[in-house]
Structure 1
Amino acid sequence: MTMKASALALALLAAPSMALAQSSPMQGMDMKGATSPATQDYMRAMQGMNEKMQGMKPANDPSMDFVMMMKPHHQAAVEMAQAYLKYGTDPKLKRMAQDVVSNQKKEIKEMTAWEKRHGM
C-alpha cells in the first residue's frame, strides 16, 4: 500500500460513519467525462467501494473496523487492476496490476478468515 493509500485508510478509520455517508471522495466527480472504458471501470470500482463503506456501522474496535473498511478498499483495487489488465498496454504496469490482483485477493481472504474467527 502506498503512503497515500495508507493515509486514506487511516483517515477512513478515524471518520465517523455519518461523515463517510455525507462526504465521499467520489462526490463531485463527473462520470460524463470518463469516456474510456478503463476510466469508466476505475470509476465504477471506486463508486462500489464508497457505497459499501457508506452503509457500514463502525464497531468502534480498531481491528474490526480496519478489516471491515479494508475489504472493500482492497476489492476496489482488484477491480481497478483487472481493468488495467484488460485495457492497459504498459508491460511494467501490467506486472504491477497483476501483483495488485494477487496480493489484494490474498489479503481479502485473510481478512475474511479473520472476520470468521472473530465472529464478524
Structure 2
Amino acid sequence: MSHTLVVRPLSALVVILAGSALLAAPVMAGEEEAQAQERIQQVESGEAEAQGDDGEVEASDDDVLESDEQPAHHGNDNGHDHEHAMHDEDEHADNEAVQAYREVNRRMHEDMSIDFTGDADADFARGMIPHHQGAIDMANVVLVHGEDDAIRDLAREIIEAQEEEIAFLRDWLVQHGYETN
C-alpha cells in the first residue's frame, strides 16, 4: 500500500502564510525599531535649533511626526480634542473631586519625572514610588468624594497595597545605596 500525501490547497496556504509571518516578525520588529531610532535621532538633532533662550525645548507634534503620520487621538476623534479638553476643564471647574484628581495627576507626573541613573532597577523603583503615591492619592479622593461602597472598598485595598510596595521600594533603594525622598 502506498500512502499518498493529500494537501488541501487552503490548509497549505494557511501553513505557508503562518510560517512566513513567524519568519518575518523579527525582521519587521527590527525595521520598526530602526525607524523609531531614526525618528529619535531626527528629533535630537533638531533640539539645538528648537531650544529657546531658557534652554527649554520648543517642539510641536509636527517636529516629531513624519508627514504621512497622524497624531494619536484620545477621546472623541473629531479633531477637536484640545478644545474638548478645555471645555471639560471649564465644565468641571466647580467639581471638587475633578479638581482633586487633576492636582493628583499633575503632582504624580511631575514627581515621576526623575533624573535617571542608568540602573534599570533603581530607575524603576524611583519612578514607581511617585506612581504608587499617585494611586494612593487618587484612592483618597474617592474616599472623600465617592459614594459607591465597592469602589471605596477597592480604594482602601489600593491604599494598603501601594503603601506596602512603596515601603519595599524605599527599603530596596536604601539597601542598594540610593537616596529616597
> How does the TM-score come out when normalised to structure 2?
0.48
SS of 1:100 mapped into structure 2: helix
- State the AA in 2 paired with 1:89: E
Q: Out of 125, 135, 145, which is 1:77 matched to?
A: 135
Q: Out of 162, 165, 169, which is 1:104 matched to?
A: 162
2:108/2:133 contact within 8 Å kept: yes
RMSD: 2.2
> How does the TM-score come out when normalised to structure 1?
0.71
Q: Is the aligned partner of 1:60 residue 2:124?
A: no
- Per the TM alignment, residue 32 of structure 1 is displaced from its structure 2 partner at its CA by 3.9
- State the AA in 1 paired with 2:165: E
User: 1:1-120, aligned counterparts within 5 Å?
Assistant: 30=86, 31-34=89-92, 35-54=94-113, 56-120=114-178
- Per the TM alignment, residue 76 of structure 1 is displaced from its structure 2 partner at its CA by 0.6
2:112/2:128 contact within 8 Å kept: no
* Partner deviation per Cα, 1:52-95 (whole Å, 9 max, x = no partner): 123x1111211101101100000010000001011101011011
- Structure number with the bigger relative contact order (C-alpha 8 A, sep ≥ 6) is 1
Structure 2, unaligned stretches of length 5 or more?
Answer: 1-43, 45-55, 58-81
Residue identity over aligned pairs, in percent, reads 28
- 1:33–1:48: structure 2 CA closer, same or farther, 3 Å change rule? farther
- State the AA in 1 paired with 2:101: Y
2:112/2:127 contact within 8 Å kept: yes
- 1:74–1:33: structure 2 CA closer, same or farther, 3 Å change rule? farther
Question: Matched residues in 2 for 1:33 and 1:57: separation?
Answer: 36
